[in-house]
Amino acid sequence: MKTWRPRTSVAPRDKHFNEPIRRPPSSNYTNPSSSATWNKYFTKPVRRPRPKRRPIRKKVFGTAECPRLVVFRSHKHIYTQLVDDTIKKTLTTVSSASKDLRQKLKSLANKSDRAKIVGLALAAKAKSMSIKQVVFDRKSYFYYGRVKWLAEGAREGGLIFMNGERRGSFAPRIVEKSF
């Protein structure tokens, strides 16, 4: 009869050389091209779930008078568009990669300052098209960093940010109570 022994956690051994399987070269190994990390014994990669994108597009809707200001952020540049969702057309675009702003942005090393100038340029373009109000669509980006500076620049340029509910009413709802 076998005696009971507590189970111990021992790293698996290599079939051919009877020595523990080695971990990858760096101690906390992650491959930058995948979201995999290595499991406890470093025998095979284990997938980690990616963070969920928060859907904001369902809530915002732009019209001709109050278009949607869309932000896209890459590692180097920031891109913005004013979109009219009723006819599904882009009204205007401004980016930090555009030729108009290239001379202004060369002197700035900080990407946040570049985003603020892009916001100011977008506000100037929108004013020339007689657009005063916009609905801010930040996609799944947090209102932080370059996205925040872009919005601040657009506000300084004279754009008014509205809450863009799909119902078409941009005024706050007033609820009448009957007693």
The verdict on residue 61 lying in a domain is no
- Please give the average per-residue pLDDT across 29-36, as a whole number: 52
Residue range of the domain that includes 121 = 68-162
Q: Is the residue at 175 inside a domain?
A: no
Which residue carries 């209102």 as its tokens?
143
Mean pLDDT to the nearest integer, 39-49: 56
Looking up residue 142, the CATH number of its domain turns out to be 3.30.420.100
- Residue 97 pLDDT greater than 70, yes or no: yes
CB 68 within 8 A of CB 137: yes
Are both 83 and 34 inside the same structural domain? no
Tokens of 36: 């995999």
Statement to judge: residues 38 and 100 lie in one domain:
no
Give the pairing type, strands 160-162 and 133-137: parallel
Question: 110-148, pLDDT tens digit by residue?
Answer: 999 999 999 999 999 999 999 999 999 988 888 899 999
- For the question of whether the overall pTM of this predicted structure is more than 0.85, the answer is no
33: which 2 tokens? 């091209």
Is 62 within the bounds of a domain? no
31 versus 71: the higher-pLDDT residue is 71
